[in-house]
Structure 1
Amino acid sequence: MNISDLLNTINSTAKFKVDKKKGISIKELHEIEKTLGIKLPDDLVEFYTFSNGLEGDDLIFNIIPINEVEKDNDNVGEYLFFAEYLIYSETCGLEIDLYDKNKYKFFYLTYEQEDYNKPQRNYIGDSIIDFITLYSNEGTFGIFRG
């Protein structure tokens, strides 16, 4: 299933809806990759050229447009902010394998009360299709199960 088919299926059958944004050009995407110092997985390239982010109807959920994505670091390493809800109340990260750009994982962070400086990554999916399907079936709290 490709991204276009997925969004059409979701919006005709799912509990939570998503609105597509205008995609960006490959050239612009490559410039952003260069600025961020990353290479996006092939299916995320397809996603961002089809739709530069998504807006969900549950708790102001958004997959962040690639030109607004930022890097961060935690005790595991570097990652990209990928999604958020309630105007950045919580964020979801994207971890791309250093040796194979097509291996990646989505996660949300939780923090131990004893040591707030050591967040824990809670992995929730390893493909954009799985991520969007999870949101469409379970909503924001399906993704951020903290």
Structure 2
Amino acid sequence: MVHTHAGFAVAGRPTRTRRSAVALAVALLAVAALLVLSGCSSKPDVVPSADAASVDVAATVTVKDMTFTPATVTVKPGQAVTWIFDDGVVEHDVVAADGSFVSELMTQGSYTHVFTEAGTVNYSCSPHPRMVGVVVVE
């Protein structure tokens, strides 16, 4: 028989209360891990870049220092936006909220998309969802 004193087992074994606390902590960590992983959704399929040399590029957005600059651009239907990636070793992409354009992850290079319909298209960077931008087509 093991006796307890001040929450500790005299014979060096944890008390039932301590075992329960450890089990609860492990369960909470498992739940937290599942919540984090459930927030990771798969990225939509890449939409190939347009050839910037053969389309009317009306706006250029720089992807650098964890921001899209400028954050909002305005183009006309039939015009394109080119994103220039230049953020060292940090990979970024551009993903339209409506799925109309999705670039590859890249550290250097560019991606061009032609906008055919009037409207407002919100976009973000999938690894950095706080990086957001807007294309207004009017």
What's the TM-score once normalised by structure 2's chain length? 0.24
What's the TM-score once normalised by structure 1's chain length? 0.23
Larger strand fraction of residues: 2
Which structure would you say has the larger Rg? 2
